[in-house]
Amino acid sequence: MSYIAEGGEKITSSEGVTLANLNTLANSATTEFLAKVGGVVVNKAQSAGSGTVTSVSVTTANGVSGSVATSTTTPAITLTLGAITPTSVNSVVVSGSATPTLAVTGTSSISGSNTGDQTGGTPSITLGTANTAGSSPNFLRRDDTILAFDATAPSTQAFGDAAAVGVATVAARRDHKHAMMSAPTSVTGNAGTVTGATFTKTLTVDTGNVRLSGDAGNTSYLSIGAGATSVSGSNTGDNTVATALTGTPSITVNTVTTTGNIELGNASDTTITRVSSGVLAIEGNNILTANVGDTSKLPLAGGTMTGKIVKAGTTEVGKTYTPATGSQTVTIDCSVNNVHVVTGHASGTAITFAISNATSSQPFIVSILQGSSTVSTIAAWFATVRWAGGSAPTLTATLNKRDTFGFIRTGTDTYDGFIIGQNA
C-alpha cells in the first residue's frame, strides 16, 4: 500500500525520506503500527518490543561527538565532550554568540567557587552628585583601598567670596578646615549695623558717616578712652552752634586740651591765652587764676590771711638778721627786701654794717632791737652815709628797745640816712 499521493505541492527531500519510511513500514505491518501515547505519536510496533536495528551511529551536536564500533552487530559507542553550548539549563538562559550573556531568572541561582578568568583592577570610583552606571569589566577586591578623602589643603576664603559648587571628586576629612584670612585693616561696602565691635586699629572713614542712633533710653554715646586719645580733623557736618542757652543747661567734659588760643565771641577782641603754668592772659594782659584746692593761696572770692605778705622776688616782709655775740658783720641785702630787722645777741653784739645789691634811688629801712641781757653797739655803718643833722645817731643803750633808721641810695656807695624812731 502506498501513502504518497501523486501530484499536489512538491515536498522536500527530508519529507520524502520520512514518507518513504512510513510507506515501507506500512507495507510490512500486519496490524496498526502508529499510536498516540501521552500526546506523542509513537511506533506501535516498536512499543510492542519487536523490530531489528541494522546500524548505529552518533550525530555530533551541542559540543558532543562520538564513534561507534561494530555498529551493525554489537555496537560500542564512545562519546567525546567538546565545547558544550546549550541555550538554556534549568531556566538559566545563555544567549548570544560572540559575547554570550548569562541571564538568571526566577528562583534560579549560581553558586560555587569561581575559577574563571575574571580580573580585578585598581579602584577608580568617583564621588558625584548623581548615580551613574560604570563600564569597567573589573571587580573590586575586599582589601582594595578606595580614594575617598581630599589630600589637598583647602584654599583661603576672603570677605565677599561668592558661593561655588566646587569640583573636588573626594570628600573632606572631619578635621579638614579652611585657613582664616588676616585680621581686616579696612572695611568697605554698604552701610550696615555693627554691634558690640571693638576696634584695636584705627577706624578710618573716608567719605561716609559714623552715626550714633539714640535708643529708647537715649543712652547711646561715643566713648573716648583714657590715654593719648583725641578727636581731630575738620568738622564739616551739621553740628549746630548754640547762640543762647536758657533754663539750666548742663555741659560736662573731663579735660579740654588745646595748644592754641580760646576765642570768646569775636576772635579779634576776646582771646584767652595760656602764659605759663597757672597764668592766663586776656588780650595779652595777665589775669589772676583761682587756686582751687590749694589752701596755701588766697581764693579769688577772698579769705583770711594769717601769714606775712611777701613781695614777688623777696623772701618775706622784714628780712631778719640774728648775729652772734661779739664783733659781727651784718650785710644788708637790698635785693630781697626793703625792710631789714636786726636783733642783737642776748650777750651783746658789736655790729659792723655792710650793704649789697642796692639799686639807684632804692629806699630801705634798718630796725635794730636790743638783746635781753647785754646791750649791743654799732661799730660802724656801711660806707658814705650822710645823716640828717650831720652826725650819726647813738644807738639806744636799753635792753629790749628798738631804734629804726631809713635810707635812700643816692649814688654809688652813697646813701642819705634818717632817724625814724628810737627807744621804742
**pLDDT tens digit sequence for 347-395:** 999 999 999 999 999 999 999 999 999 999 998 999 889 999 888 999 9
SS3 state of residue 47? helix
Answer with the residue of higher pLDDT: 350 or 8: 350
CA–CA separation, 55 vs 73, rounded Å? 8
CA distance 377 to 341: 15
In 3D space, the residue among 349, 345, 385, 378 whose CA is nearest the CA of residue 364 turns out to be 385
The predicted model gives 37-55 an average pLDDT of 61
Of 12-26, 33-47, 126-140, 159-173, least confident by mean pLDDT is: 33-47
Q: Which three cell numbers stand for residue 243?
A: 547762640
Contact by Cβ (8 Å): 103, 92 = yes
What is the share, in percent, of the chain residues with pLDDT greater than 70? 56
The pLDDT score that the predictor gives to residue 245 is 62
Which is more confident, 406 or 256? 406
Check whether 3 has a pLDDT greater than 50.
Answer: no
Whole-prediction pTM: 0.32
Q: How far apart are CA 93 and CA 171, in angstroms?
A: 42
Which pLDDT tens digit goes with each residue over 160-169?
Answer: 788 888 777 7
Report residue 1's pLDDT band, with 50, 70 and 90 as the boundaries. very low
Dihedral of CA atoms 114, 117, 118, 122 in degrees, nearest 10, equals 130
| pLDDT confidence band for 117 (50 / 70 / 90) | low
Q: How far apart are the first and last CA of the chain?
A: 204
Bridge partners (DSSP) listed for residue 116 = none
Average pLDDT over residues 36-62: 67
Query: DSSP states of 124-145 as a string?
Result: -----SS--------B--TT--
CA atoms within 13 A on the CB side of 191: 5
pLDDT at position 362, please? 93
Q: What is the CA radius of gyration of the chain?
A: 70
Q: So what's the pLDDT on residue 209?
A: 66
pLDDT of res. 52:
73
Could you tell me which residues are beta bridge partners of residue 369?
343, 402
**For the chain, domain boundaries:** 1-57, 319-421
- Residue 123's pLDDT is 82
pLDDT above 80 (res 401): yes
Residue closest to 59 by CA, chosen among 44, 79, 29, 30: 79
Q: Are 104 and 145 in contact (CB under 8 A)?
A: no
Question: Residue 227: its pLDDT value, please?
Answer: 58
Question: Would you tell me how many other CB atoms lie within 10 Å of the CB of residue 93?
Answer: 14
Would you give the distance in Å from CA 143 to the centre of its chain?
Answer: 47
DSSP string for 194-226: --S---SS----SSS-------TTS-------S
* Structure confidence at residue 233 (pLDDT): 59
Residue 92: burial class (beta carbons within 10 Å; 0-12, 13-18, 19+): middle
Higher pLDDT, residue 203 or 72: 72
Cβ atoms of 3 and 11 within 8 Å: the answer is no
Distance CA 280, CA 270 (A): 13
Q: Band of the pLDDT at 404, cuts 50, 70, 90?
A: very high
What pLDDT was estimated at residue 386?
A: 94
The partner residues of 298 in beta bridges, in order of sequence, read none
Provide the pLDDT for residue 308. Answer: 53
| Average pLDDT, rounded, for the chain | 75
Q: Tell me what the mean pLDDT of segment 281-304 comes to.
A: 67
Residue 299 binned pLDDT confidence (cut-offs 50, 70, 90): low
pLDDT score for 365: 95
Architecture of domain 319-421: Sandwich (2.60)
pLDDT tens per residue, range 231-262 = 565 555 555 555 556 667 666 666 667 777 77
Residue type, 113: S
Q: What is the pLDDT of residues 184-239, one digit of tens each?
A: 666 665 555 666 666 666 666 666 666 666 666 666 666 665 555 555 655 555 55
Provide the 3-class DSSP secondary structure of residue 43.
strand
Least confident of 33-42, 54-63, 120-129, 345-354: 33-42
Confidence tier at 399 by pLDDT (50, 70, 90):
very high
